[in-house]
Each structure stands twice: as C-alpha cells, then as structure tokens.
C-alpha cells in the first residue's frame, strides 16, 4: 500500500487526515507493513492488543495511563473500525495517536 492508500483508509474515520502524520506512522511501522499479517491489527487477539498497548502506546506515544485505560482506548478503536474485517495497522495507530493528541510526533 502507498501513503495515499493509507490516507484513503483513514479518511473513512477522520475528516481531515494529517498526511505528514500518515507518512510518519508508515515510516515507524517500517518492515512490519511488508507482511500482510503484521500489517494488520487483530482485535480478537489479546496478545496482539497487549503488544500494541505496550509497544506503541507506552513506548512510542509515551503514554502513562493505566493498562485498563489503554485497553479501553484500544477497544474503542476496535469498535470504531469494526466494519473493517482487515484493520490496517497504520489506520489503527493513526486513530490512537489522534485520540491522545500525538499526531505531531509523526508529522
């Protein structure tokens, strides 16, 4: 997928997509986006959500919320994206970063 493809996917959920932030998230994800399985987030896989919470929310976004609060945020994004069978990791991360006002980290 290209940055434009990710932007189109994100625009299903957000009116004004920050293109620089999309490009930054794509760069952050790097090699993970080359593999179909790792380019997606599985909301039904607890260990996957734990990795997103610990690796992206805590480490990359430097969030200090409790695990319960972060898990609730992850569930919120899963709910937002429930119509997508394949949840793009870039879109998922974008929605999380936007929720916490951290898109500028990627722009």
Domains held by the chain: number: 1
Range of the domain at 42: 3-105
CATH number at residue 80: 1.10.238.120
pTM for the model: 0.96
For 77-101, the DSSP string reads HHHHTTT-SSEEHHHHHHHHHHHTT
pLDDT per residue rounded down to tens, the chain (107 residues): 888 899 999 999 999 999 999 999 999 999 999 999 999 999 999 999 999 999 999 999 999 999 999 999 999 999 999 999 999 999 999 999 999 999 999 99
Q: Evaluate whether 13 touches 95 at the Cβ level (below 8 Å).
A: yes
Dig out the tokens for 43 from the structure.
């909301």
Angle, to 10 degrees, between the axis of helix 19-29 and the axis of helix 3-10? 120
């Amino acid at each position: 997928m290209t940055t434009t493809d990710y932007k189109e996917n994100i625009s299903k959920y957000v009116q004004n997509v920050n293109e620089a932030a999309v490009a930054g998230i794509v760069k952050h994800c790097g090699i993970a986006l080359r593999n179909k399985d790792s380019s997606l987030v599985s909301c039904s896989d607890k260990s996957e959500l734990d990795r997103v919470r610990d690796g992206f929310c805590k480490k990359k976004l430097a969030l200090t919320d409790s695990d319960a609060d972060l898990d609730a945020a992850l569930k919120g994004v899963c709910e937002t994206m429930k119509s997508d069978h394949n949840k793009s990791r870039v879109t998922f991360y974008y929605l999380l970063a936007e929720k916490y006002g951290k898109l500028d980290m990627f722009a």
